[in-house]
Structure 1
Amino acid sequence: MSSSPLPEPVTNRRHKMSSMNALQKCSQYIYRLFRVGHMDFEFAVWQMIYLFISPKKVYRNFQYRKQTKNQFARDDPAFLVLLFVCFLISATGLSLVLRLHFLGFVKFLFWVVFVDCILVGAVVATLFWFITNKYMRKSETEDIEWGYAFDVHLNAFFPPLVILHVFQLFFYNVLISQDYFIARFFGNTLWLIAVTYYCYITFLGYSCLAFVRHTQTILYPLVPLFLFYLVTIISGVNICRVIMDFYHYRVY
Structure 2
Amino acid sequence: MMKYSTSPTPSTSSYPRSTSPLPAPANYQPTTASAAVKRYKYLRRLFKFNQMDFEFAAWQMVYLFVAPQKVFRNFNYRKHTKSQFARDDPAFLVLLSVWLFLSSMFFALCIGLSSGQIALFVLFVVFVDFIGAGILVSTIFWYVSNKYLSVDGAGGDVEWGYAFDVHINAFFPPLSLLHCFQILLFHNLLSHSGFLACFVSNTFWLASIVYYLYITFLGYSNLPMIKNARAFLLPLPALFVLYVGTLLANWNLSHMLMDFYHYRVL
**Under a length normalisation based on structure 1, what TM-score does the superposition of the two structures give?**
0.93
Q: Does 1:95 align with 2:102?
A: no
Find the aligned partners of 1:76 and 1:105 in 2 and give their Cα distance: 31
Distance 2:28 2:132 in 1: 31
Offset, 1:47 = 0.4
Residues 208-230 of structure 1: per-residue CA shift (max 9 Å, x gap): 11221111111011111111111
Give the secondary structure class of the aligned counterpart of 2:138.
helix
1:5 to 1, 12, 33: 12
1:213 and 1:70 map into 2 onto residues whose CA distance is 21
The answer as to 2:76 corresponding to 1:63 is yes
Check the 8 A contact 1:17/1:25 in 2, yes or no: no
Equivalent pair of 2:141/2:163 in contact (CA under 8 Å): yes
- Equivalent positions of 1:1-252 (< 5 A) are 4-5=11-12, 18-140=31-153, 141-252=155-266
One-letter amino acid of the structure 2 residue matched with residue 4 of structure 1 = S
In the alignment, the residues of structure 2 paired with residue 101 and residue 68 of structure 1 have an alpha-carbon distance, to the nearest angstrom, of 50
* Letter of the structure 1 residue corresponding to residue 193 of structure 2: D
Distance in 2 between residues matched to 1:228 and 1:37, nearest whole Å: 46
Distance in 1 (CA, whole Å) between partners of 2:93 and 2:250 is 37
**Could you tell me how far apart the structure 1 residues matched to 2:30 and 2:108 are?**
42
Distance (whole Å) between structure 2 residues aligned to residue 41 and residue 18 of structure 1: 25
Report the alpha carbon displacement of residue 17 of structure 1 after superposing the two structures with TM: 8.3
TM-score (normalizing by structure 2): 0.88
Unaligned runs of 5+ in 2: 1-8, 14-26
Distance in 2 between residues matched to 1:15 and 1:248, nearest whole Å: 54
Displacement, 1:26? 1.1
Deviation at 1:5, TM superposition (A): 2.5
Amino acid at match of 2:110: V
Counterpart Cα distance in 2 of 1:18 and 1:244: 48
Query: Can you list the C-alpha shifts for 1:138-193, whole angstroms capped at 9, x where unaligned?
Result: 14422100110011000000000000000011100110010021000000000000
Indicate the percent of aligned positions where both proteins have the same amino acid: 49
RMSD of aligned alpha carbons: 1.9
1:3–1:75 Cα change, 3 Å: closer
Q: Which amino acid aligns with 2:169?
A: N
- Determine which structure has the larger helix proportion and give its number: 1
Equivalents in 1 of 2:39, 2:30: separation in Å?
11
Q: Are the aligned partners of 1:164 and 1:191 in contact in 2 as well (CA < 8 Å)?
A: yes
C-alpha change, 1:22 and 1:3, in structure 2 (3 Å) is: closer
Code of the aligned partner of 1:193: A
User: Relative to structure 1, is the Cα distance of residues 68 and 33 closer, same or farther in structure 2, using a 3 angstrom cutoff?
Assistant: same
**Letter paired with 1:164:** L
In structure 1, stretches of 5+ residues that fail to align are: 7-13
